Structure 1
Amino acid sequence: MRPTAPDPADTDAWNTYLAEGNAKQARKRVAADVLLRDPSGRVLLVNPTYKPGWDLPGGMAEASEPPEDTARRELMEELGIRITLLGLLVVDWVAPHGPWDDQIAFIFDGGTLDQDHADRLRPRDDELSEAAFVTPAEASVHLQDRIRRRFEHALNALDGGRPLYLRDGEPVM
């Protein structure tokens, strides 16, 4: 038999009850990346020093950090740029893989940098060895499978004008 929830008017008992439920519920890792372009339509890729292969700029959320704040923070820390996000392109539920539990991965539209800013863009910390604007076709070659699928669907969402929900890199809705 399930225990009966306390009366919400009893604030202490109610908060204890909610805390117990919260402690038992699953927690998800959250990644937030940005699709950022230059005036010629090339996309920004970064080469992380802590894992193989190229990636979109962005990173992992800190505790209780909203995904859009994660994306902006990571671009400031790693590339020294402040951007205004123009919208959501992709949400991808990523199944457990290797030693990792499942996660939720977002890609936001970072818009287009003017040519001067694009030309001056350089890594600002030791997490990145390189940053480069490449054509979408070149990006698909440089990205590993999981992020490549997400990236290609982000381009489709950009063209289609609406965000996509993915399950392990494949559209489900």
Structure 2
Amino acid sequence: MDDEEARFRQTGWPGLRARLFHTYFLLRRPMTLGVRGLVLNREAGTVFLIRHTYVPGWQMPGGGVETGETMQYSLERELVEEGNIEITAPPTLASLHFNRQASRRDHVALFLVESFRQTSPKKPDREIAEAGFFPVGDLPAETTPATRRRINEIVFGAPASSYW
């Protein structure tokens, strides 16, 4: 056996086998990951919420983590897109949740964002019908149950749930 064949035996087949198994499990058991940001102005006692054009209710801004993105980068991108909000200090990963309403494989990472600036109020567009800051004790009536639970957990210290 020459050096090239030995190298293939050491790296080729095992590496190829690992890639094949990884691809099989990716197709067989795909998992999705999303991020949400609880943008909290503690001094004013307000949180930033959005209302999409395509789903009912007020909720925290966020979205899916795209291939090649970190969770933090995805959060930063979504906050700019959905709220004209720029993070000015690293956010805190507050909790991870299984989102069984979305699918059997969906997970959501919730970040607490307390250091930010809004470049301008978010105007309605094709994705965002409305957006704004609301008092934590006086959220819009249409605020989603999951959004209310996350705010209660982080702001008021309610027990955290593993489920979104």
CA deviation after TM superposition for structure 1 residue 46, in Å: 0.6
1:27 counterpart (20, 27, 30):
30
Q: CA deviation at 1:9?
A: 6.9
Give, in whole Å, the separation in 1 of the partners of 2:51 and 2:83. 12
- Tell me, in whole angstroms, the C-alpha distance in 2 between the residues paired with 1:8 and 1:149: 53
Q: Which residue of 1 aligns with 2:90?
A: 85
**What is the SS of the residue equivalent to 1:82?**
strand
RMSD, aligned CA? 2.9
Give the C-alpha shift of residue 129 in structure 1: 1.3
Mapped contact 2:30–2:105 kept (Cα < 8 A): no
CA distance in 2, matches of 1:10, 1:140: 61
Letter paired with 1:149: R
Cα distance in structure 2, aligned partners of 1:132 and 1:45: 6
The 1:140–1:129 alpha-carbon spacing in structure 2 relative to 1, beyond 3 Å, is closer
SS at match of 1:167: coil
Matched with 1:37 is 40
The residue number in structure 1 matching 2:15 is: 15
TM-score (norm: length of structure 2) = 0.76
Q: Give the distance between the partners of 1:135 and 1:127, measured in 2 at CA.
A: 24
> What's the offset of the Cα at 1:113?
4.3
2:63 is aligned with 1:59: yes
CA separation of 1:112 and 1:142: change in aligned 2, threshold 3 A: farther
Is 1:168 the counterpart of 2:163 in the alignment?
yes
SS in structure 2 of the partner of residue 130 of structure 1: strand
Unpaired segments of 5 or more residues in structure 2?
1-6
Return the alpha-carbon distance in structure 1 between the equivalents of residues 68 and 104 of structure 2. 18
Matched position secondary structure for 1:137: coil
Q: Corresponding residue for 1:3?
A: none
Q: Is the 8 A contact 1:57 1:75 kept in 2?
A: yes
Hey, what does 1:134 align to over in structure 2?
Answer: 134
1:43-81 per-position Cα deviation (integer Å, ceiling 9, x unaligned): 000111121111101111112422211110111222233
The structure with the largest alpha-carbon Rg is 2
Structure-2 residue corresponding to 1:122: 122
- Provide the aligned length of Structure 1 versus Structure 2: 153
Counterpart of 2:131, as a letter, is: A
Q: For residue 106 of structure 1, give the secondary structure of its aligned residue in structure 2.
A: strand
Aligned-partner Cα distance in 1 for 2:112–2:32: 21
| CA deviation after TM superposition for structure 1 residue 150, in Å | 2.8
Question: Tell me, which stretches of 5 or more residues in structure 1 are unaligned?
Answer: 1-6
Q: Distance in 2 between matches of 1:148 and 1:24?
A: 38
Please report the TM-score for the alignment, with normalisation by the length of structure 1: 0.73
Conserved 8 A contact 1:35-1:43: yes
% of aligned pairs identical? 21
1:74 aligned to 78, 101, 106, which one? 78
